[in-house]
Amino acid sequence: MSMPSPVRRSPSYIAFSPRRVFAMVLRHWYLLRSSWPRVFDLMYWPAVQMLMWGFLQTYVMQSSGTLARAAATFVAAVMLWDVLFRGQLGFSISFLEEMYARNLGNLMMSPLRPAEFVAALMIMSIIRLTIGIVPVSLLAIAFFGFNLWSMGLGLAVFFLNLFLTSWAVAIFVAGLLLRNGLGAETMAWGIMFLLLPLTCVYYPVAVLPDWLQWFSWMLPPTYVFEGMRALLIDRVFRSDLMVQAFALNAVLLTIGVTGFMLLLRSARREGTLLQGGD
Amino acid sequence: MRIATAPEPSIAVDRLVKRYKAVTAVDGISFAIAAGSCAALLGGNGAGKTTTISTIMGLVEPTSGRVVVLGAEMPRQRHRVLHRINFESPYVNMPMRLTVRQNLNVFGMLYGCADVAGRIRALAEDLDLGDFLDRPTGKLSAGQKTRVALAKALINEPEILLLDEPTASLDPDTADWVRGRLEDYRRERGATILLASHNMSEVERLCDRVIMLKAGGIEDDDTPERLINRYGRSNLEEVFLDIARGRGEAREAAQ
């Protein structure tokens, strides 16, 4: 059979389209707007967590010494942990919504490119986190007199590093979901908890056994939480820690994106893109 | 068997093989679909229809062989032509909480429509969506959902329309209405349509070519009329049963 020669380039072929990214953001914005339980859920757990750790902080700070100083960072720690956890979850849930709706086939068959899809999910994770963290930060001021936003520029650098880590993990999880369908859903909900003890959210790295500290320092959030304690306890912004966190995040993002592309390729080989089931 | 085709087919499949581990879903099939024609892929469950269509859409990577759609090698060059193709399948849904208008707005933007609102207005008129344009898609009847899925499939005025069971689970009246719209679209736009269906009367009405698949291979390939005549049957359903039950070879040998 004589096959047609490949096209050079179609005039309306666009490598990266902000309009398609906006279309996907709009799709998830429509969904959030139409469902108050989804919006409520974005605020509920962060608020519960913050109140629980806030009261614990208040109790421990009534004692004296080092413990009281360390406890002063609990509320900040829980809120930064939420940035890491909810950043990944915001991305992954938006992706899962497509699977629950059986819409993934429509998207995969549309001109939407993987990079545009990922960009839209990143924007959605920021929107979802903002809806959750802003009211909770106001609650922290009201209940415990702790103003998260007073950390200023340091907070912006912490947020950026935590978002980068959460996206790297979420991109890899999206690849797992494409390849394995909803059978990999538990990874989306639970993978970040593996980082909870290792990234030393509520305690300094020095608490860990020596061999485990080596693993801990391989994870970018560890540098953020250490930096947060340095800022709140010693009033010092550790830019060296943030630079190292950025470098590690670059590595982590490279691994996440490469893993995603390999898993997407594997999903095309195995024909799992239309299935989406378990 | 070859059908006369235009010099540059819209879809060209050459020695396509797709294996899933030990299972061969498609086994070296070749065919070309001429621009502006309507062809059907027929076959029993597991014959390879869905795998073939998924490969044409770029959702599945061939084990070997080539698939070229509008001149683009699939799946490698799929992004060069996906805005010129669309599809409808009962195996995918549109987000249920979004209204029909919101869904069409999103897909209109994804497919790069210049005037999305205008296109939605035109589709609402053509497909009679006006009454439920602002209702959540999940709250529509099966017939209304099919019309919305068809609207999504036509949002970018595609040159190629891939349809998987386009009238499955519809009552005869709605199914007939959908077939009429597909005929209109093909006539007005000169679009190429490839459909997989188990409804033989639908295939007889819409298609000028039938590709019969069995166990991953092409069992026969001709116009509906010629197939019916060759098998000495009165309709396509009887031909389908002959082929599915292996009576085709015996009949041809006897003749």
Does residue A48 belong to any structural domain of this protein?
yes
Does residue A276 belong to any structural domain of this protein?
no
| Cβ neighbours of residue B8 closer than 8 Å, sequence gap 6 or more | A4, B35, B71
Does residue B4 belong to any structural domain of this protein?
no
Report the mean per-residue pLDDT for chain B: 89
Query: Residue B245: what pLDDT?
Result: 79
Does residue B49 belong to any structural domain of this protein?
yes
Is pLDDT above 70 for B73?
A: yes
User: What is the mean pLDDT of the segment spanning B18-23?
Assistant: 90
Of B68, B92, B99, the CB nearest to A106: B92
User: B162 versus A278: which is more confidently predicted?
Assistant: B162
Query: Residue A130: what pLDDT?
Result: 94
Query: Residue B251: what pLDDT?
Result: 58
Report the mean per-residue pLDDT for chain A: 89
Q: Which of residues 62-101 of B touch A (CB under 8 A)?
A: 66, 68, 70-73, 75, 77, 79-87, 89, 91-99
Residue A150 is inside which H or E element, if any? none
Q: Judge: A101–B83 Cβ closer than 8 Å, yes or no.
A: no
User: What is the mean pLDDT of the segment spanning B12-32?
Assistant: 94
Complex prediction ipTM: 0.87
Is pLDDT above 80 for A65?
A: no
Looking at chain B, the whole-number percentage of residues with pLDDT higher than 90 is 64
User: What is the mean pLDDT of the segment spanning A83-109?
Assistant: 93
User: What is the mean pLDDT of the segment spanning B28-49?
Assistant: 92
The CA distance from B80 to the nearest CA of chain A, in Å, is 5
Does residue A7 belong to any structural domain of this protein?
no
**Tens of pLDDT along B163-203?**
988 887 778 888 898 899 999 999 999 999 999 988 888 89
| Residues of chain B contacting A120 with CB distance shorter than 8 Å | none
Does residue B125 belong to any structural domain of this protein?
yes
Q: Judge: A109–B94 Cβ closer than 8 Å, yes or no.
A: no
Q: How many CB atoms lie within 10 A of CB B6?
A: 13
Owning domain of residue B28: 11-254
User: What is the mean pLDDT of the segment spanning A21-33?
Assistant: 95
Is pLDDT above 50 for B237?
A: yes
Q: How many CB atoms lie within 10 A of CB A256?
A: 23
**Joined tokens for residue A36:** 């108050």
Does residue B2 belong to any structural domain of this protein?
no
- DSSP assignment of B200-228 equals HHHHHHH-SEEEEEETTEEEEEE-HHHHH
Instruction: Kindly state whether A213 is in contact with chain B, defined as any CB-CB distance less than 8 angstroms.
Output: no
User: What is the mean pLDDT of the segment spanning A84-96?
Assistant: 94
| pTM, rounded to two decimals | 0.89
Q: Is A62 helix (H, G, I), strand (E, B) or coil?
A: coil
Q: How confident is the model at residue A12 (pLDDT cuts 50, 70, 90)?
A: low
* Three-point CA angle A29, A32, A34, nearest 5°: 110
For chain A, count helices (H), then strands (E): 12, 0
Q: How confident is the model at residue A2 (pLDDT cuts 50, 70, 90)?
A: low
CA A117/CA B38 separation, integer angstroms: 33
Closest CA to A98 of A40, A31, A39, A165: A31
Query: Residue B148: what pLDDT?
Result: 93
Distances from the Cα of B64 to the Cα of A7, A240, B67, B213, angstroms: 21, 52, 10, 18
Q: Judge: B95–A27 Cβ closer than 8 Å, yes or no.
A: yes
Instruction: Kindly state whether B9 is in contact with chain A, defined as any CB-CB distance less than 8 angstroms.
Output: yes
Is pLDDT above 80 for B252?
A: no
Tally of domains within chain B: 1
**Tens of pLDDT along B222-231?**
999 999 998 8
Query: Residue B253: what pLDDT?
Result: 54
CA A269/CA A179 separation, integer angstroms: 10
Is pLDDT above 80 for A7?
A: no
Closest CA to B134 of B107, B108, B106, B101: B101
Looking at chain A, the whole-number percentage of residues with pLDDT higher than 70 is 92
User: What is the mean pLDDT of the segment spanning A207-224?
Assistant: 96
Are the C-beta atoms of B42 and B26 separated by less than 8 Å? no
Query: Residue B142: what pLDDT?
Result: 86
Looking at chain B, the whole-number percentage of residues with pLDDT higher than 70 is 94
Does residue B5 belong to any structural domain of this protein?
no
Q: How many CB atoms lie within 10 A of CB B10?
A: 27
Owning domain of residue A124: 18-270
CA A228/CA A241 separation, integer angstroms: 10
Which range (A144-158, A160-174, A217-231) has the least confidence? A144-158
User: What is the mean pLDDT of the segment spanning A86-109?
Assistant: 93
The CA distance from B10 to the nearest CA of chain A, in Å, is 9
CA A59/CA A71 separation, integer angstroms: 9
Does residue A8 belong to any structural domain of this protein?
no
Q: Judge: B92–A13 Cβ closer than 8 Å, yes or no.
A: no
| Cβ neighbours of residue A60 closer than 8 Å, sequence gap 6 or more | A67, A68, A71, A74
Q: How confident is the model at residue A152 (pLDDT cuts 50, 70, 90)?
A: confident
Closest CA to A175 of A93, A106, A259, A102: A259
Query: Residue A73: what pLDDT?
Result: 86
Does residue A46 belong to any structural domain of this protein?
yes
Query: Residue A11: what pLDDT?
Result: 45
Query: Residue B249: what pLDDT?
Result: 60
Tally of domains within chain A: 1
CA A223/CA A199 separation, integer angstroms: 8
Q: How confident is the model at residue B22 (pLDDT cuts 50, 70, 90)?
A: confident
Instruction: Kindly state whether B117 is in contact with chain A, defined as any CB-CB distance less than 8 angstroms.
Output: no
Task: Report residue A217: phi and psi, to 5°.
Answer: -75, -5
Does residue A11 belong to any structural domain of this protein?
no
Give me the count of residues in chain B: 255
Is pLDDT above 80 for B108?
A: yes
Task: Report residue B194: phi and psi, to 5°.
Answer: -125, 120
Does residue A57 belong to any structural domain of this protein?
yes
Which range (A58-62, A192-196, B47-51) has the least confidence? A58-62
User: What is the mean pLDDT of the segment spanning B18-43?
Assistant: 93
**Tens of pLDDT along A101-131?**
999 989 999 999 999 999 999 999 999 999 9
**Tens of pLDDT along A46-59?**
999 899 889 988 88
Does residue B246 belong to any structural domain of this protein?
yes
Q: Which residues pair with B209 in a beta bridge?
A: B39
Domain with B201 in it: what CATH number? Answer: 3.40.50.300
Does residue A124 belong to any structural domain of this protein?
yes
**Tens of pLDDT along B198-208?**
888 889 999 99
Question: Is the link from the previous residue into B136 a cis peptide, with omega within 30 of 0?
Answer: no
User: B253 versus B137: which is more confidently predicted?
Assistant: B137
